[in-house]
Amino acid sequence: MNLNAATSGGGARLLADGNQVPVLGLWQVPAGRACVNAVRWALDAGYRHIDTAQAYGNEESVGRALRDSGVPRDQVFITTKFHPRGNDPVVQAEGSLRRLGLEQIDLYLVHWPEGGPTWAWAGMERAQELGLARSIEVSNYDAAELEAVIAAGTVPPAVNQILFNPRHRRQALLDACGRFDVAVEAYSPLGTGRYVDDTTVAGIARRTGRTPAQVLLRWSLQHGLVVVAKSTHRDRIHENAQIHDFTLSAEDMAELDALDRTGGTDRALEAKWW
C-alpha cells in the first residue's frame, strides 16, 4: 500500500505485523447517500483511512464512494469488522469484500468479544492466511481478553480499537497494549460530540486558536494513538483533518488527562452491550 504523503499530512503508524495504518480515519457513518458523501468528502480532504463494519450496514456505501472518488485503491486503507454473532470470520470477510467491491481488507477486526475473547480468532487468522485481510485485530477487548487472544493464537492482534478520549483515558489498558506491542485505535474521540463543549477543552481551544474537536483529536495523536472520528458534515470532516500542524503543550495534555473518569482502568468498557 502506498501511503506516502497521502494521509492528510499526518503519516501512518507502523504496526507490529509490518503493515501501516493512517493515523486519522473516518468512522461509523450511516449507510446511504450520507455515507457516500461523507467518504467522498473525507477522501477529498486528505483522509486515507475509512472505517466500516458488518454491523454498520454501510459497506456497500463505502465501496461506492471509494469507486466514485477516483482515489487509487492502494492509497486508501479500509477497515471492516467481523460481527461476532456471525458464523465464520472467513465467510463473513468474503461477504464484506463483495459488498465493498474489493479484493482485500486492510484491517479486519473482531468487533467485540461476545461469546468469549478467543473463539473467533482462529477464523480471523484463516482470513489473513487466505489473503482476505492484510492485518487482523480486535475491538472492545480489555487487558485480560487481549492477553487471552495472544495466548490462544499464533498471530497476535495488530490493533485494539477501543473507546478512548480524555474522559475515558484507560491508562492501564493503554499500557497493556504497549507491553503486547498492540497499537491502540481510539473511537469516540469526541465522546460522540458531547465533549466539545467541555470547559477545559474549550479553554485549550481558545489558547491554541483551534477548535475543541481539533484539540481532542490532537490529544489522541499525542498519546500515540490511531484515531477514527465520525461526521457527516463536510466542513467538520475538513476541520478534523487539520490536526497535524500544531502541538498541545505538556500543560494542555495534563489538563486533558485530568478529565479521566475511568480511574485509568484496564477495561475497554464500563458496561457491555452484549
Q: Which amino acid is at 176?
A: A
Question: How far apart, in Å, do the first and last CA atoms of the chain sit?
Answer: 35
Are the C-beta atoms of residues 174 and 223 closer than 8 Å to each other? yes
Eight-state DSSP code of residue 106: E
What are the phi and psi torsion angles at 240 (to 5°)?
A: -65, -20
Query: Can you give the C-alpha Rg of the chain in angstroms?
Result: 18
Grid cell at residue 18: 509490518
Backbone torsion region of residue 97, taken as left when φ is above 0, otherwise alpha when ψ lies between -120 and 50, otherwise beta? alpha
Cα dihedral value 186, 116, 269, 139, nearest 10:
10
Please report which helix (H) or strand (E) contains residue 92, including its range: helix 89-100
Helix (H, G, I), strand (E, B) or coil at 139: strand
Active-site residue, 108 included? no
Grid cell at residue 177: 497494549
Distance (Å) of CA 219 to CA 20, 82, 120, 173, 180: 21, 29, 33, 17, 23
Q: Of these residues, 47, 56, 187, 195, which one is catalytic?
A: 56
Q: Which residues are catalytic?
A: 56
